[in-house]
Amino acid sequence: MSKILYENFKDYFRVGAAVSGIILMNDAEREELFQKRKAWFEEFKKNFKPQPGMPEFKFTEPEPFPKGEMPDKQLAATQFNLLVAENECKMSNVYRGPDQFDFTGPDRLLKFARENNQDMRWHTLVWHNQSPKWIFEDGKGGKASKEQLEERLKHYIMTVGARYKDDICSVDVVNECISDKNFILRDGADRSQWFDILGPDYVDKAFIWAKEAFPNSSLVLNDYNLEIIEGKRQGMYKLVKGMLERGVPVDTVGLQMHINIQNPPVSEIEKTIELYASLGLKVIVTEMDISAYVDKDFEHPDPRREYDKAFLDEQAERYAQIFDCFKRYAKQDILKDVILWGITDRMTWKNNFPVPGRTDSPLLFDNEGKPKPAFDKLLEL
Ligand code: XIL
């Protein structure tokens, strides 16, 4: 393919992609991971407690990974100038025990990025999901103490920084810390064991340590639905405004941008970017995809749809309008990066979220790795 996505936007912003670790692995490494997943899955099923109000949960058994090279790898190497690990840099994959780190996944991606002259970001240092269980425990059947957890978190951030600070251009320091219920910090009742044990100042502390660990990287507070839910957008505004007033070194708001074919309108995206820019912060788009489904709730998911020409053209038009908006803010030196959450539709997390097993078509390349109309349209911008 002679048409290169990132080159088309190089005067405006970097164009990045989240890379699933398996596309970089060989068959033996994939098989080993599959066996581990099977074991985790059995464990998960055994311990699963449904949340109140959730419909019956359908477990999807892990399936063996495809063999051989996948189209995603070549596309990752050629179409993007910024990479991020879809899962490999999350704490549960790296921080295996109080003094035990596994850097296999991050190293594999960094090597690939270097070979292809690409920048790399780190997702993510602190998140209520995909954190290791042991970190919240005292090893005697109880909860870790505040001091213990704080020390572990600081040790983690410092260790990761010591290894990667010169290679990572930007870091999602804290991910998804705003509650969808009241738009203030997510607490213990809302699944944040970080808040539960450390209290509300864990966010400030994580940024202060991250600044020490990654002195030259951009430090990002990342969240979803900021461009969709006005209350949450304002909640983030209050949080970062307070952080700036306290001298906490946050410099960028990350908009995940998991959106759909209808919502939000471009005008809401503009409002969101402008709100954070008004504080002097930069904005990046960290996890963009455009789902075919306008989900209202878990119990009545939209019927499975055809990804026909009408849909693909509509999606292309929507991608183009939004990227056009991104260009306008890049010109004003506000928007810096746009990262897609995946490469081909075959590999997208949306095939299992929010409805397990319902496939989606949210990205720029189809299941076979062929460019969709959205890709072609972006190259015309
Ligand atoms: C998702 C990955 O894409 C999945 O493979 C994984 O099973 C769960 O996490 N917001 C985030 C990302 O910040 O880390 C999530 O990634 C998607 C939502």
pLDDT tens for 96-143 read 999 999 999 999 999 999 999 999 999 999 999 999 999 999 999 999
What mean pLDDT do residues 251-255 have? Answer: 99
Q: What is the pLDDT of residue 1?
A: 44
Residue with tokens 């209520």: 128
Q: Please say if the pLDDT value at position 297 is more than 80.
A: no
Could you tell me the pLDDT band of residue 300, with boundaries at 50, 70 and 90? low
Ligand 1: nearest atom to the Cα of 349: 3
What mean pLDDT do residues 38-67 have? Answer: 82
Q: What is the pLDDT of residue 338?
A: 99
Please tell me the distance between residue 354's alpha carbon and the centre of ligand 1 in angstroms.
11
The reply to whether 270 belongs to the active site is: no
DSSP labels, 90-158: SHHHHEEETTEE--HHHHHHHHHHHHTT-EEEEEEEEESSS--GGGGB-SSSSBPPHHHHHHHHHHHHH
Ligand 1: nearest atom to the Cα of 20: 5
Of 86, 88, 176, 227, which one is the catalytic site residue?
176
Alpha-carbon distance 204 to 334, whole Å?
23
Taking CA atoms only, the protein residue closest to ligand 1 atom 15 is 86
The reply to whether 287 belongs to the active site is: yes
Does residue 170's CB lie within 6 angstroms of at least one atom of ligand 1?
no
Could you tell me the pLDDT band of residue 306, with boundaries at 50, 70 and 90? confident
Alpha-carbon distance 160 to 216, whole Å?
14
Ligand 1: nearest atom to the Cα of 224: 10
Please tell me the distance between residue 245's alpha carbon and the centre of ligand 1 in angstroms.
31
**3-class secondary-structure state, position 14:** strand
- Ramachandran quadrant class, 118 (left: phi over 0; alpha: psi -120 to 50; beta: rest): beta
Ligand 1: nearest atom to the Cα of 123: 14
Could you report the per-residue pLDDT of 152-192, keeping only the tens digit for each? 999 999 999 999 999 999 999 999 999 999 999 999 999 99
Pocket test for ligand 1, best of 37, 89, 353, 360 (most atoms within 8 A of CB): 353
> For residue 344, which of 370, 318, 310, 305 has the smallest C-alpha distance?
370
Bigger pLDDT: 282 or 298?
282
Q: What is the pLDDT of residue 298?
A: 64
* Angle (nearest 5°) at CA 354 between 195 and 178: 25
Of 287, 314, 317, 380, which one is the catalytic site residue?
287
Does residue 256's CB lie within 6 angstroms of at least one atom of ligand 1?
yes
Pocket test for ligand 1, best of 20, 41, 86, 223 (most atoms within 8 A of CB): 86
